[in-house]
Amino acid sequence: MSLPPENPLPERLAAIELAPLAPEAGERGEDPPWSAWDVLRIVFVALFVIVVCSFAMMWFATHDRAFSGMAIVDLARDPLVIIPAQFLAYIVLVIFMYQMVAREYRRPFLRTVRWQWPAGHWAAFVALGVALAVSGQLLSALLPVPKSLPIDQFFRTRAGAYVMAVFGVTVAPFVEELFFRGFLYPVLARRLGMLSGVVLTALGFALVHASQLAHAWGPLLVLFLVGSVLTAVRALTKSVAASMLVHIGYNLTLFTMLYFASQHFRHFDRLS
């Protein structure tokens, strides 16, 4: 008479209990499912949709009485035309980034890009952005900054200034942080390490705004330092939402300063 086989279940349970748990994504180094080529795809899509939406909005503006008689070059510098175009382009871009993560790589989007809300009080990150803006303005006073910059053309009217302010405090920080700190930084950090990832991401962040700053090294240096802080916050907190809050605090402070310095966006001529 043969003996019944031993039940291997207790041994398997013991093995499971003794085996080390796999580290969570937040405990490992940066390891996004997308590659550097995917980041380049996002860049190409961004350039394409921004150009298409800008030309489309300028075409519609030429058929609108509110913009009648305006030259194309003036329409291209009017925030009432360009900002809506950029807003539409950003919607397409965010949809593309979502499809890449959720459809191509079959990952949960927010968790994969590390959009989780940061630990601690959110106001602390906004306050950091305020301090960053004040420090940047103090540093700008010591650097050679041209009296007139291309971005000043977007503040010729009060309505344009309000559009720029709302867009700059809401949409721009969200999309810029999603790309630079959500997609670009983790690819660079995985390949080159955290320090190089922070530096290169901040450099890319500054260069994207170079045309608005006349490629002047003074304001670009300030923006590079700002980008470095934003990326460092993302790297240390593992949260893109944290860097977005800092970004919002930074932009909000700059627009608030401009609001009062121009007497409620009425007298930009007094800023020169």
Query: What ranges make up the beta strands (E) of the chain?
Result: none
């180094």: which residue's tokens? 29
Tokens of 202: 């901040």
**Is the pTM for the entire model greater than 0.85?**
yes
At residue 14, the pLDDT reads 40
Model confidence over 150-189: pLDDT tens digits? 888 888 889 999 999 999 999 999 999 999 999 999 999 9
Question: How big is the CA angle at 176 (ends 173 and 182), to the nearest 5 degrees?
Answer: 115
Measured between its terminal Cα atoms, the distance across the chain in Å is 103
Per-residue pLDDT, 270: 58
Query: Above 90 in pLDDT, residue 9?
Result: no
Alpha helices (runs of H) in 19-78, residue ranges in sequence order = 36-62, 72-75
Q: Judge contact between 221 and 142, C-beta under 8 A.
A: no
